[in-house]
Amino acid sequence: MDLAGASALVTGGASGLGEATVRRLYAAGAAIVIADMNGEKGEKLAAELGARARFVRTDVTNTEQVQAAIAAAQALAPLRAVVGCAGIGWAQRTVSKEGFPADLGAFSKVVEVNLVGTFNVLRLAAAAMSQNPPLKFGERGVIINTASVAAFDGQIGQVAYAASKAGVVGMTLPAARDLSKAGIRVLAIAPGTFDTPMLALLPEEARQALAAGIPFPSKLGHPDEFAMLALHMIENPYLNGEAVRIDGALRMPPK
């Protein structure tokens, strides 16, 4: 799919993996809607990029706000691509060392944002895309969601996060099958240890230790490497229904 003359929506697009994706899709010719909770960063990025970029404050669990972001994208050009990067993390053992059970509210919140929010964007964006005129091979759009290597080898304390990301992986194939008649592809990216603002808070010694544990290349992933894969998925019409790891051959240890 050629993004020139089309619009793309990126959730969590104001920073980290989402920001890198916004920049790469914009450079590829797409009009962009940056959907994020952080208004300051989102507005700044949109202003920096220029006339084809808009920021819309969006909580992915809020149907009205997601619909507003989709409408903003459609106002720029036909919505052909969505990349979902919005998500939260939470670290807590199922039972603490003191014998206390995990916080059920925290577990529910992570699943609500990472899984339910992802599906909320997927269902609403797919409905909008289904009305697009078909392109080559009958394609109307592509939706890419962000999972994690934690979906496959979650670590101690990652029960909520791993469960939410495993759900993203699990819904990829059935969603692709559901949407095949509409000409909409569905994919997921499962990143490993990437150099995002969250990891930037760690001491340099800890960052170097994380990088050393990655087989090859032994470095933290760069957000643009994630964005490169997202763009390739958009442009390659035969990629569908798959979750792709991007992790330097990393397999996470228990802790």
> What is the torsional sign of CA 215, 217, 87, 149?
negative
pLDDT at 214: 93
Residue 254 lies in a domain: no
Within 8 A by CB and 6+ apart from 197, the residues are 15, 16
Q: Classify residue 79 as exposed, middle or buried by CB count within 10 Å of its CB (0-12, 13-18, 19+).
A: buried
> The CATH number of the domain where 138 resides is what?
3.40.50.720
pTM for the structure as a whole? 0.95
Q: Is position 203 within any domain?
A: yes
Write down the pLDDT at residue 234.
98
- Report d(CA 140, CA 191) in Å as an integer: 26
Q: pLDDT averaged over consecutive 10-residue blocks of the chain (255 residues)?
A: 96 97 98 98 97 98 98 98 95 94 96 98 98 96 97 94 98 98 98 86 81 92 97 98 96 86
Q: How many domains does the chain have?
A: 1
Whole-number pLDDT of residue 8: 98
- Report, as residue numbers or ranges, the catalytic residues: 161
Residue numbers of the domain that contains 172: 7-246
> Would you say residue 251 lies in a domain?
no
Distance of CA 155 to the CA centre of its chain: 20
> Is 1 part of any domain?
no
What is the reported pLDDT for 198? 73
